[in-house]
């Protein structure tokens, strides 16, 4: 998953960013969610944790999210957990029968889809933006129709594809025939500065905003079982994770990635 020609020990070129020009979409969401975690009622908190524990039977990553939300810690809460809390807060405000609300139903709600598509519309990724929007709308339909094999595969592709186009639109990647080149030589150790993997793109994106290295969707270290399943799913050898649970995780991850890409101005 990580190329042999990548040298982790070399320094990364830093490019100053104009933070004053950035939108605050991603940061606002994390702040709202963190505040909600401190103030949410015990019943709502217990319900969310119980939902996550139940979903862990389908996908073990839900136990990671549940631990983040259930147990107090001096360590910062993971950003994907905060994004989930943001939507749980919305559900609590929108749903009249919240006590009977099932977390996987979140993706099919108008308010979730509105938030996702609004974040997409705020992107600056060139002429393909309307097509990405259509693809994500199709993912909503596949989820509703329980076509999880298609949903999971396409969502993984959108996470990397949107990140790639955002970097290219901002001049960090340049297409050379069928390959992308690291224009500013941010990632050391690449032969011909050729970007070969999602990890390389994440390293470049993290130079724009360190947040990208904190997203579980983009973690590429060898210890990550989530990374391993991603690699095996997109290469066709893992057919066990085409589930409603993994689709739910990927929608949350996609939103987290998009909302922070939207903060990075051209």
Per-residue pLDDT tens digits of the chain, which is 266 residues long: 444 444 444 444 444 444 443 445 678 898 999 999 999 999 999 999 999 999 999 998 899 899 999 998 877 777 889 999 999 999 999 999 999 999 999 999 999 999 999 999 999 888 999 999 999 999 999 999 999 999 999 999 999 999 999 999 989 999 998 899 999 999 888 889 999 888 888 888 888 777 777 776 666 444 455 556 787 888 888 899 999 999 999 999 999 889 878 766 66
Buried b (16+ CB within 10 A) or exposed e, 222-260: eeeebbebbbebeeeeeeebbbbbbbbbbbbbbbbbbbb
Whole-model pTM? 0.85
User: Residue 73: helix, strand or coil by DSSP?
Assistant: coil
Q: Tell me the CB-side half-sphere exposure of residue 64, using CA atoms within 13 A.
A: 13
**φ, ψ for residue 175 (rounded to 5)?**
-75, 125
Q: At what angle do helices 110-121 and 244-261 cross, to 10 degrees?
A: 40
How many residues are recorded in the chain?
A: 266
Please state, in angstroms and rounded to a whole number, the distance separating the CA atoms of residues 123 and 31.
21
pLDDT of residue 106: 98
Cite the DSSP H helix spans in 24-147. Answer: 25-39, 42-55, 61-70, 79-94, 110-121, 129-144
Q: Residue 45, Cβ neighbours under 10 Å: how many?
A: 16
Is-contact 13 68, C-beta < 8 A? no
pLDDT of residue 217: 62
Tokens of 163: 């990140």
pLDDT of residue 233: 87
Q: What is the DSSP letter of 9?
A: T
Is-contact 172 164, C-beta < 8 A? no
Please state, in angstroms and rounded to a whole number, the distance separating the CA atoms of residues 51 and 47.
6
User: Residue 141: helix, strand or coil by DSSP?
Assistant: helix
Tokens of 239: 């057919």
pLDDT of residue 77: 78
Expressed in percent and rounded to 5, the helix, strand and coil fractions of the chain are 65, 5, 30
Cite the DSSP H helix spans in 122-224. Answer: 129-144, 148-169, 198-208
User: Residue 166: helix, strand or coil by DSSP?
Assistant: helix
Nearest one of 106, 144, 143, 149 to 241, comparing CA atoms: 149
Is-contact 132 125, C-beta < 8 A? yes
Q: Which residues contact 93 (CB under 8 A, 6 or more apart)?
A: none
Is-contact 153 170, C-beta < 8 A? no
């Amino acid at each position: 998953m990580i190329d042999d020609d990548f040298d982790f020990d070399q320094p990364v070129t830093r490019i100053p960013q104009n933070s004053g020009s950035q939108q605050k979409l991603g940061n606002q969401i994390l702040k709202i969610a963190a505040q909600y975690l401190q103030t949410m009622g015990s019943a709502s908190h217990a319900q969310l944790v119980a939902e996550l524990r139940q979903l862990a039977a389908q996908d073990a990553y839900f136990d990671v999210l549940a631990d983040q939300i259930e147990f107090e810690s001096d360590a910062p809460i993971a950003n994907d957990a905060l994004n989930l809390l943001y939507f749980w807060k919305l559900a609590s405000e929108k749903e009249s029968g919240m006590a009977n609300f099932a977390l996987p139903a979140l993706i099919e709600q108008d308010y979730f889809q509105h938030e996702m598509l609004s974040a997409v519309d705020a992107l600056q990724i060139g002429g393909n933006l309307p097509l990405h929007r259509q693809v994500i709308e199709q993912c909503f339909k596949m989820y509703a129709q329980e076509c999880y094999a298609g949903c999971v595969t396409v969502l993984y592709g959108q996470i990397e594809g949107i990140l790639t186009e955002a970097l290219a639109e901002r001049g960090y990647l340049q297409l050379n025939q069928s390959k992308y080149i690291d224009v500013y030589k941010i990632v050391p150790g690449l032969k011909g500065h050729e970007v070969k993997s999602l990890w390389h793109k994440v390293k470049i994106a993290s130079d724009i905003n360190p947040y990208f290295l904190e997203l579980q969707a983009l973690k590429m270290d060898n210890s990550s079982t989530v990374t391993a399943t991603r690699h095996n799913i997109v290469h066709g050898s893992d057919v066990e994770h085409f589930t409603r649970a993994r689709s739910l995780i990927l929608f949350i991850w996609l939103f987290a990635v998009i909302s922070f890409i939207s903060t990075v101005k051209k």
